[in-house]
Amino acid sequence: MTTIPQAFSQQMVEAMLAKIDYSVFCKAAASLGLQVPQDAANLDEEGYRLIHHALFEVHVIEGELHCPLCQTVYPVSNGIPDFVH
């Protein structure tokens, strides 16, 4: 996992929050050891910054993605998940 700094944009975070399942996002962030607010309602600037960091700055370079529904493990190599292995 690596961090690549990106310019903070509260508007971009708000746009993404409208498109994602926040509870699933929180679980994914926690699995990477990241802290994000457990509730997306009434966020302050720090909350938006934590979410921005998890969404836009953290990159998994090598590792695995685990599907909680089918238990399939997908390898990640050079930052690219292999969903067809």
Please state the pTM of the whole predicted model: 0.86
Domain span at residue 49 reads: 2-60
- Give the chain's domain count: 1
- Hey, what amino acid is at 23? S
What's the mean pLDDT in 8-23?
Answer: 98
Q: What gap in Å lies between CA 9 and CA 71, rounded to an integer?
A: 35
Residue 12 lies in a domain: yes
User: What integer pLDDT is reported at residue 45 of this predicted model?
Assistant: 98
Q: For the segment 34-69, what is each residue's pLDDT rounded down to a tens digit?
A: 999 999 999 999 999 999 999 999 999 999 998 888
pLDDT at 16 over 90: yes
Give, for 49, the enclosing helix (H) or strand (E).
Answer: helix 45-52
Residue 44 lies in a domain: yes
Confidence of residue 70 (pLDDT cuts 50, 70, 90): very high
